[in-house]
Structure 1
Amino acid sequence: MTGAGAVVFGLAACSDGPSDAENNTVSDAAQEKLSKATGTLVAEGASSQQKAMDIFGNAYSNAVDGASFSYTPSGSGAGQKQFIAGQVAFGGSDSPLKDEQIEAAAKRCGGNEAWHLPMVIGPVGVAYKLDGVDKVTLTPELIAKIFKGEITNWNDPALAAMNDNLPDKPISVIYRSEESGTSDNFQKFLKAATGGFWDTTGKAFPSATGAGANGSTGVVGQVQSIDGAITYVEAGFATEAGLNIADIDFGEGPVELNPESVGVALNNLTFKTEGHNMVVDSTKLFEMKTKGAYPLVLTTYEIVCSAGYDENTKNQVKDFLTVALESQNSDLEEAGYIPVSGEYKDKLAAAVEAIN
Structure 2
Amino acid sequence: MIRNFKRTVAVLGAVAAGSIALTACSESNETTSGDAGTKIEGLSGTTGNLVAEGASSQQKAVDLFGVKYAEAVSGANFSYTPSGSGSGQKQFIAGQVAFGGSDSALKDDQIEAAKQRCGGNEAWHLPMVIGPVAVAYNVKGADNIVLTPELTAKIFKGEITKWNAPEIAAINKDAKLPDTDIKVVYRSEESGTTDNFQKFLKATSNGVWEGSGKSFPAAVGAGANGSTGVVGEVSATEGAITYVEAGFAKDAGLGVAKMDFGQGAVELNKDSVNKALAKLQYKGEGNNMVVDSTKLFEMKEAGAYPLVLTTYEIVCSAGYDAETSGRVKDFLKVALANQGSDLEALGYIPVDGEFKKKLETAVDAIK
Q: Under a length normalisation based on structure 1, what TM-score does the superposition of the two structures give? A: 0.93
**Conserved 8 A contact 2:126-2:359:** yes
**2: CA distance, partners of 1:277 / 1:311:** 21
Q: Is the aligned partner of 1:213 residue 2:213?
A: no
Q: Is the aligned partner of 1:260 residue 2:271?
A: yes
Alignment of 1:150-299 (within 5 A): 150-163=159-172, 164-299=175-310
Q: 1:132 aligns with which of 126, 141, 165?
A: 141
Change (3 A) 1:205 1:65: same
Alignment of 1:41-52 (within 5 A): 41-52=50-61
Shift of 1:54: 1.0
Q: 1:119 aligns with which of 124, 128, 133?
A: 128
User: Which letter maps to 1:327?
Assistant: N
**1: CA distance, partners of 2:33 / 2:288:** 32
**2: CA distance, partners of 1:84 / 1:165:** 50
**Conserved 8 A contact 1:184-1:201:** yes
Q: Is the aligned partner of 1:73 residue 2:82?
A: yes
User: Which letter maps to 1:281?
Assistant: D
Q: Deviations over 1:320-352 (max 9, x none)?
A: 000000011111111011000011000000000
Secondary structure of the 1:217 match is helix
Q: Report how many aligned residue pairs link the two structures.
A: 340
Structure 2 partner of 1:3: none
Q: Could you list the runs of 5+ residues in structure 1 that have no partner in the other structure?
A: 1-12
Secondary structure of the 2:129 match is strand
Q: Is the aligned partner of 1:96 residue 2:105?
A: yes
Shift of 1:353: 0.3
**2: CA distance, partners of 1:286 / 1:197:** 15
Structure 2 partner of 1:325: 336
CA-based RMSD of the aligned residues comes to 1.5
Shift of 1:14: 3.0
Q: Is the aligned partner of 1:38 residue 2:47?
A: yes
Q: Could you list the runs of 5+ residues in structure 2 that have no partner in the other structure?
A: 1-14, 23-31
Secondary structure of the 1:103 match is helix
Shift of 1:15: 1.8
Secondary structure of the 1:268 match is coil
Q: 2:16 aligns with which of 2, 14, 17?
A: 14
Q: Deviations over 1:107-154 (max 9, x none)?
A: 000000000000000000000010111110000000000000000000
**2: CA distance, partners of 1:27 / 1:146:** 46
**2: CA distance, partners of 1:228 / 1:22:** 44
Shift of 1:16: 7.8
User: Which letter maps to 1:233?
Assistant: V
Percent of counterpart pairs with the same letter? 69
Shift >4 Å, 4+ stretches: 20-26
Change (3 A) 1:26 1:98: farther
Structure 1 partner of 2:27: none
**Conserved 8 A contact 1:96-1:279:** yes
Structure 2 partner of 1:6: none
**Conserved 8 A contact 1:25-1:59:** no
**2: CA distance, partners of 1:193 / 1:310:** 44
**2: CA distance, partners of 1:334 / 1:23:** 16
User: Which letter maps to 1:111?
Assistant: G
Structure 2 partner of 1:348: 359
User: Which letter maps to 1:33?
Assistant: G
User: Which letter maps to 1:153?
Assistant: K
Secondary structure of the 1:92 match is strand
**Conserved 8 A contact 2:46-2:76:** yes
**Conserved 8 A contact 2:154-2:208:** no
**Conserved 8 A contact 1:26-1:326:** no
User: Which letter maps to 2:116?
Assistant: K
Alignment of 1:303-322 (within 5 A): 303-322=314-333
**Conserved 8 A contact 1:36-1:319:** yes
Change (3 A) 1:22 1:244: farther
**Conserved 8 A contact 1:24-1:59:** no
Q: 1:337 aligns with which of 345, 348, 353?
A: 348
**1: CA distance, partners of 2:38 / 2:301:** 36
Shift of 1:197: 2.1
User: Which letter maps to 1:27?
Assistant: T
**Conserved 8 A contact 1:23-1:329:** no
User: Which letter maps to 1:268?
Assistant: K
User: Which letter maps to 2:60?
Assistant: K
